[in-house]
Amino acid sequence: MSGKIQNVGVIGAGQMGNGIAHVCSLAGYSVKLNDVNAERIKTALATINGNMTRQVSKKTISEDDRKNALARIKGAEKYDDLSDCDIIIESATEKEDVKRKIFTDVCAVLRPDAILATNTSSISITRLAAATDRPERFIGIHFMNPVPLMELVELIRGIATDDPTFETSKAFVASLKKTIAVAEDFPAFIVNRVLLPMINEAIYTLYEGVGNVEAIDTAMRLGAHHPMGPLELADFIGLDTCLSVMQVLYEGLADSKYRPCPLLVKYVEAGWLGRKTQRGFYDYRGEKPVPTR
């Protein structure tokens, strides 16, 4: 790996991508934000500006920090625009075929020494790396949502990831003022391996009528001191994302304890995916969220 990271490319301008661009630019990196949809890049830049303005009002950053950071982020509509990046962080949708296609296309324009990272929350790093021309320079850098607020990043090596890539990535993540948890490349890594089965179990508790939505969330908030109840958290994450992580666990580890709850499947089939669709375990269309069961 030649020298240190200066230019960062982020692929995918959704909630995670704009958060990653946000923290990288505040840490002093030049950032190029790419998305298949040019409108989404515009929206992301507006969101980043809004979130940084909130940080200024909370006095966590200065107005100069905000201006300078925003000046360091540029939209990049084509992969060609990413050719000078030292590291690319892919943050597209959690679908393996989509990610593999992105890697194939972007590898064609990258410098041979550039690091390729994925923000996947559950897909095998080794398998994704095998779809690229640089498995030894491929790594998992999994940020938590919302990225500017969450202190943790999981760092995951694939079987082929070499030491310089790991060390460079580790130094890069530390420079973003994040704490690193190194995880082995097994389905869903650490956080989601522990968190998602808990959410799935909460949904089973609802499905079996042990408690209603309100009782389950109150029990875990006040009985286990969780800042958010598991069903409220599922709505925040997105029920489609919860289901896809449970499917990865179930298929990857072949253990019946990871079987996605049929009620979770039903909600996803109904298109009730949580906050982003206004309905999930709660209905968000009124003044305050109301349980849907």
Q: 138 and 221: one domain?
A: no
Known catalytic residue at 192: yes
Range of the domain at 227: 192-291
Q: 122 and 141: one domain?
A: yes
Active-site option among 34, 91, 122, 192:
192
Known catalytic residue at 22: no
pLDDT in tens, the chain (293 residues): 345 899 999 999 999 999 999 999 999 999 999 999 999 999 999 999 999 999 999 999 999 999 999 999 999 999 999 999 999 999 998 889 999 999 999 999 999 999 999 999 989 999 999 999 999 999 999 999 999 999 999 999 999 999 999 999 999 999 999 999 999 999 999 999 999 999 999 999 999 999 999 999 999 999 999 999 999 999 999 999 999 999 999 999 999 999 999 999 999 999 999 999 999 999 999 999 999 99
> Is residue 213 in a domain?
yes
Active-site option among 91, 121, 122, 244:
121
Q: 83 and 132: one domain?
A: yes
Which CATH number goes with the domain that contains 197? Answer: 1.10.1040.10
Domain end among 161, 183, 205: 183
Q: 140 and 166: one domain?
A: yes
Q: 178 and 287: one domain?
A: no
Q: 161 and 222: one domain?
A: no
Q: 196 and 146: one domain?
A: no
Q: Which long-range contacts (CB under 8 A, 24 or more apart) does 279-284 make?
A: 280/234, 280/235, 280/239, 281/206, 281/213, 281/231, 281/232, 281/234, 281/235, 281/239, 282/213, 282/231, 282/232, 282/235, 284/235
For residues 87 and 116, give the distance between their C-alpha atoms in angstroms, rounded to a whole number. Answer: 6
> Is residue 128 in a domain?
yes
> Is residue 1 in a domain?
no
Count of the separate structural domains present in the chain: 2
> Is residue 2 in a domain?
no
